[in-house]
Amino acid sequence: MTTLARLAPLALTMGEPAGIGGEIALKAWVRREGLPPFFVIDDAARLTALARRFGIDCPVAAIATPSEAAGVFHRALPVLRLAVPLAGGVTLGKPEASTTPSVISAIDQAVDAARSGAASGMITNPIQKATLQNTGFAFPGHTEYLGHLAGIADPVMMLLIEELKVVPVTVHLAVKDIPGALTIRAIVHCGQVTAKALQHDFGIARPRLAVAALNPHAGEMGMMGSEETSVIAPAIAQLRESGIEVSGPHPADTLFHTAARRTYDAALCMYHDQALIPLKTLDFAGGVNMTLGLPFVRTSPDHGTACDIAGAGTADPSSLIAAIRTAGAVAARRENARTAAE
């Protein structure tokens, strides 16, 4: 079996520099025992200043290439220089448009490292989407941008904790727009990508999917909505025909209790909050966002930039640590499969 120590290091992006990304990166290194080696694409002087400000015992070491990270990681947090240096100063809690080129550049650098094999995968610190979009960034978030860079039209977002894996079919949409966006094709695509990821990235030989209904009581035989019969059930039938073990549509209010969760490996949900509310209720601090369908490993902490607490020194790195651990485990499984196929 591939050990984490034998893998190339993981790349962690800077994220929004005015948020908590730098703080949690430093804290994750402090709690590095059992984690795969990783390096941060950021400004070494900035992280050194943050460590001093918050009293975090994390030495910082500038590296010139990702290959240096493994040799440095045991004694310091390796930091790869930003290809586009930060313009001007950064004030914690106050995102500035001037940092957008550096934020995007860090993502691009991580993708390049992951695709070339210089990194075994990537973890993205949260970005301030509105700040980026106000400067011309044409993507709703990381998932869509990474799909663009990889040439993948419809990457799939999975959120996971130890007790639950969920996949929202529609993501960042107003509730009123969800029924029109739900299609048989979209549900089938999410189901197929999810089943493949459960097999190849999580080692589940025969994945079981549960599909949530959109409407209360699964539509109550059409009295509370018709999407269950016109869209969701036909999609489930297609997934079954393709050989995937799938059930539903299930009323969403009965799908996430303890006994129900034992009956499936991942739940397909029809919209963002239907997926994230149960997951965050079960483990608010430890959620991981993983993009499925990419040719490289990508995870992220399941929280935002938290600019409201940036500067307080109270940010919890648990979600980032879980994202690093998940990326390392998936990268090791993919490497084992690649080696076995040779």
pLDDT of residue 3: 53
Nearest Cα neighbor of 142 from 335, 4, 323 is 323
pLDDT of residue 1: 44
Q: Which amino acid is at 34?
A: G
Distances in Å between the Cα of 256 and the Cα atoms of 111, 164, 276 are: 34, 8, 11
Intervals of the chain under pLDDT 50: 1-2
What is the tens place of the pLDDT at every residue in 46-55?
A: 999 999 999 9
Torsion of CA 70, 142, 248, 232, to 10 degrees: -150
Question: Which CATH number applies to 163-282?
Answer: 3.40.718.10
pLDDT of residue 248: 97
pLDDT of residue 135: 87
What is the tens place of the pLDDT at every residue in 148-182?
A: 999 998 999 999 999 999 999 999 889 999 999 99
Tokens of 260: 């129900």
* Calpha distance 56→44 (Å, rounded): 15
CATH topology of domain 1-154+315-342: Isopropylmalate Dehydrogenase (3.40.718)
pLDDT of residue 6: 76
* Calpha distance 52→297 (Å, rounded): 32
pLDDT of residue 153: 87
Please give the distance of CA 109 from its chain centroid, rounded to a whole number.
17
Distances in Å between the Cα of 329 and the Cα atoms of 35, 191, 200 are: 10, 22, 12
Give this prediction's pTM. 0.94
Residue ranges, CATH 3.40.718.10, the chain: 1-154+315-342, 163-282
- Edge-to-edge order in the sheet of strand 266-269: 60-63, 77-81, 38-42, 10-13, 122-123, 298-301, 288-292, 156-161, 164-168, 266-269, 208-212, 245-250
